[in-house]
Homo-oligomer: A and B are copies of this chain.
Amino acid sequence: MTKPIILKRRGLMLVLSSPSGAGKTTLSRMLLASEPDLVMSVSVTTRPMRPGEVEGKDYYFISEAEFSKQRDSGALLEHAKVFDHHYGTPSGSVNTALANGKDVLFDIDWQGTQQLKVNAREDLVAVFILPPSRNDLQSRLTTRAQDSAEVVAGRMAKASDEMSHWPEYDYVVINDDLEAAHTQMRTILATERMKPERQIGLSDFVTKLREGK
């Protein structure tokens, strides 16, 4: 077997969205373990650091003033307010990773995905994870035996809202079996990495083939 030809490539932004209870967090962890060229996006946030969290690993913890400055100068690829705190994705570290041929994983909802589509469509590969059945989803959303019917119904309604956005994604993976879903995700990643627009070295490679220089 000959030595494989590796061309320089630009990384991609892999977005995973799903209703809670569909296994997205587990799948993200499996992908980060199996794909050495995939790194997690680290967000900025204005919420206080919690015990055990690490600056630059879990989040970049910043002030309200700093957040406003970054958002207003266009330094955030997407941002959201959850309860009283702001969260955002800084474009600088993402762009450095992409330029170095690293892929960046995002665990965000449909609203964040919509913002990334506006700001970074060409680098985006957006995957929506679905549960295999309504029964399965319902049992995963019933986290404790004492959860009231109202609480579970509320979670189901939220999941239903999130799932209504599946047509905005490039791929949909039904997570019936974790290993199968993991393989599907790796197949998508392998294919998207092959796209000519991400193969920075391809143009020179073909010129050499055609002209011999």
Residues 181-213 of chain A, each 1 if its beta carbon lies under 8 Å from chain B, else 0: 000100110111011100100100110111110
Determine the chain B residues whose CB is within 8 A of the CB of A188 once the complex forms. 191, 194
- Chain A's interface size range is 35 or more
Closest B-chain residue to A165, C-beta based? B206
Identify the closest chain B residue to A196 (Cβ). Answer: B172
Interface positions of A (Cβ within 8 A of B): 1-5, 7, 130-134, 137, 160, 163-164, 166-167, 169-174, 176-177, 179-180, 184, 187-188, 190-192, 194-196, 199, 202, 205-206, 208-212
Enumerate chain B residues within 8 angstroms of A169, measured Cβ to Cβ. Answer: 196
Q: In the complex, are the beta carbons of B184 and A171 less than 8 A apart?
A: no
Q: How far is the CA of A177 from the CA of B6 in the complex (A)?
A: 13
